[in-house]
Structure 1
Amino acid sequence: MELGMFGIWSLAFTHGDPGEAADAAAEAEELGYETLWLGGDPGGNPRGDLVTVARMLDATRRAVVAPACVSVWDRPADQLARAYHALPPADRERLVIGLGVSHCEIVSTYRRPYTAMAGYLEELDSGVPPLPVSARLIGAHGPRMTRLAADRTLGVHPYLVDTEHVIRTRELLGDGPLLALEQTVVAHTDPAVARARARWTLSPYMSLANYRAAWLRSGFTEEDLAGGGSDRLIDALFLWGNTEDIAAGLAERLKAGADHIAVQIATESRGTFARSAWRELAGVLLAR
Structure 2
Amino acid sequence: MTTTGELRAALGRTGIWMPPPAAIGVDPQSYGREIEEAGFGSVWVPGVNAPENLAALEPLLSASSRLVAGTGIASVWTWSPAELAAGADRLATAYPGRFVLGLGVSHAPAVERTGQAYVRPLAKMAQFLDELPPLRAPLVLAALGPKMLELSRDRALGAHPYFTPPEHTAFARSVLGPEPLLVPELAVCLAAGADGRAAARAYAKYYLVLPNYTGNLRRFGFGDEDLADGGSDRLISAIVPSGPEAIRARVREHFDAGADHVLLQPVGEAGRFAPGQLGELAPVIADAIRNG
After TM superposition, is the score higher than 0.5? yes
Q: What does residue range 90-101 of structure 1 map to in structure 2 within 5 Å? A: 90-101=94-105
In the other structure, the counterpart of 1:167 is 170
Report the Cα offset of residue 86 of structure 1: 2.9
Structure 1 CA distance for aligned equivalents of residues 49 and 274 of structure 2: 17
Report the Cα offset of residue 268 of structure 1: 4.2
Contact 2:203 2:271 in 1 (8 A): no
Q: Per the alignment, in what secondary structure is the counterpart of residue 37 of structure 1?
A: strand
1:62 aligns with 2:61: no
Q: Which has the higher contact order (CA 8 A, sep 6+)?
A: 1
Contact 1:84 1:92 in 2 (8 A): no
In the other structure, the counterpart of 1:9 is 17
Instruction: Extract unaligned runs of 5+ from structure 1.
Output: none
In the other structure, the counterpart of 1:52 is 56
**How many residue pairs end up in the alignment?**
276
Select between 85-94 and 181-190 the one with higher mean Cα deviation.
Answer: 85-94
Q: Per the alignment, in what secondary structure is the counterpart of residue 65 of structure 1?
A: strand
In the other structure, the counterpart of 1:79 is 83
Q: Per the alignment, in what secondary structure is the counterpart of residue 50 of structure 1?
A: helix
Letter in 1 for 2:199: R
Task: Give the TM-score normalised by structure 1.
Answer: 0.89
Structure 2 CA distance for aligned equivalents of residues 49 and 182 of structure 1: 20
Structure 2 CA distance for aligned equivalents of residues 55 and 42 of structure 1: 18
1:135 aligns with 2:134: no
Q: What does residue range 115-194 of structure 1 map to in structure 2 within 5 Å? A: 115-124=123-132, 127=133, 130-132=134-136, 135-190=138-193, 192-194=194-196
1:248 aligns with 2:249: yes
Contact 1:42 1:52 in 2 (8 A): no
In the other structure, the counterpart of 2:29 is 22
Contact 1:72 1:117 in 2 (8 A): yes
Instruction: Kindly provide the CA deviation profile for residues 123-163 of structure 1, in whole angstroms up to 9, marking residues without a partner as x.
Output: 11xx2xx224x611111101100000011111111111111
Contact 1:48 1:79 in 2 (8 A): no
Contact 1:14 1:42 in 2 (8 A): no
**For the aligned residues, what is the CA RMSD?**
2.0
Instruction: Extract unaligned runs of 5+ from structure 2.
Output: 1-6
In the other structure, the counterpart of 1:285 is 285
Select between 101-110 and 200-209 the one with higher mean Cα deviation.
Answer: 101-110
Structure 2 CA distance for aligned equivalents of residues 161 and 262 of structure 1: 12
Structure 1 CA distance for aligned equivalents of residues 286 and 37 of structure 2: 11
Instruction: Kindly provide the CA deviation profile for residues 153-182 of structure 1, in whole angstroms up to 9, marking residues without a partner as x.
Output: 111111111111111111111110111010
Q: Per the alignment, in what secondary structure is the counterpart of residue 111 of structure 2?
A: coil
Structure 2 CA distance for aligned equivalents of residues 180 and 15 of structure 1: 24
Contact 1:138 1:156 in 2 (8 A): yes
Task: Give the TM-score normalised by structure 2.
Answer: 0.88
In the other structure, the counterpart of 1:221 is 223
Q: Per the alignment, in what secondary structure is the counterpart of residue 35 of structure 2?
A: helix
Q: What does residue range 195-214 of structure 1 map to in structure 2 within 5 Å? A: 195-214=197-216
Contact 1:14 1:41 in 2 (8 A): no
Select between 95-104 and 264-273 the one with higher mean Cα deviation.
Answer: 264-273
Q: Per the alignment, in what secondary structure is the counterpart of residue 87 of structure 1?
A: helix
Q: Specify whether residues 170 and 85 from structure 1 end up closer, same or farther in structure 2 by C-alpha distance, changes over 3 A only.
A: closer
Structure 1 CA distance for aligned equivalents of residues 54 and 101 of structure 2: 10
Q: Per the alignment, in what secondary structure is the counterpart of residue 224 of structure 2?
A: coil
Structure 1 CA distance for aligned equivalents of residues 86 and 236 of structure 2: 41
Identity of aligned residues (%): 38
Instruction: Kindly provide the CA deviation profile for residues 8-66 of structure 1, in whole angstroms up to 9, marking residues without a partner as x.
Output: 11114352336x222011111112111111133374xxx55721121211111111111
Contact 2:205 2:229 in 1 (8 A): no
Report the Cα offset of residue 69 of structure 1: 0.5
